[in-house]
Amino acid sequence: MSENANEAYKKGLLPRSKFTKKLLKENGWSYSVSFFNWLCKEGYIVPLEYHHTTPMMICTPFYALDTISYVSNNYDLESLYEIYLQRCTMRDILRKKGVQRVKILVSRAVMGTKSDVYLDCLLYNKLYWWAKDKCFKANSNEVALIKTFDLDDFADWYNPNREKIERQICIRKIYYRKPQNG
């Protein structure tokens, strides 16, 4: 094990293999260790650091215990657990949360352009989502709803940020950003 890996242990960071049922439960985790491991493997939980832990120079991810409380407080673990158990898909979760595909017209004043702009967005939580960090209030006078699409209808609708937005909506209990229009 490298000196940096030893330092990581001293800081309270642990490789995934050290997260036992007992340790997880002591830190407020009510799900299985295998679900925790799945969240890590799928990238829902990300390591804080990487260190060499063998003479073969294998790089091991290290996770913080604080991650457990962060994930428990902010993630929609019930929905993710259903996906983990293969009882539903992300699309099912999006439907349950009332997500819609929409085409909107955003005023040039909001966009800072010479003319109004059409955008294909996702409607969720009374916001039109263009990207993970760019949304517009659905009830704004600066934005007009042009058309609503079925969640599976991709004809005449394209947003290069769709998968990232959908993933965040599925992951988070409440997904919210400050809208661009107030």
Q: In this predicted model, what pLDDT tens digit does every residue of 116-132 receive, in sequence order?
A: 999 999 999 999 999 98
Residues 106-117 pLDDT 10s? 999 999 999 999
Residues 41-54 pLDDT 10s? 999 999 999 997 77
Average pLDDT over residues 19-41: 94
pLDDT at position 182 is 55
Which of 100, 132, 136, 98 minimizes the C-alpha distance to 118? 136
What is the rounded CA–CA span in Å between residue 16 and residue 19?
6
| Distances, alpha carbon 150 to alpha carbons 74, 91, 102, 122, 157, in Å | 28, 12, 9, 11, 10
pLDDT at 134 over 60: yes
pTM (predicted TM-score): 0.80
Which of 119, 117, 99, 95 minimizes the C-alpha distance to 108? 117
pLDDT level of residue 21 (50, 70, 90 thresholds): very high
pLDDT at position 177 is 67
pLDDT level of residue 69 (50, 70, 90 thresholds): confident
Whether the CB-CB separation of 50 and 62 falls below 8 Å is answered with yes
pLDDT at 56 over 80: no
DSSP-based three-state secondary structure for 17: helix
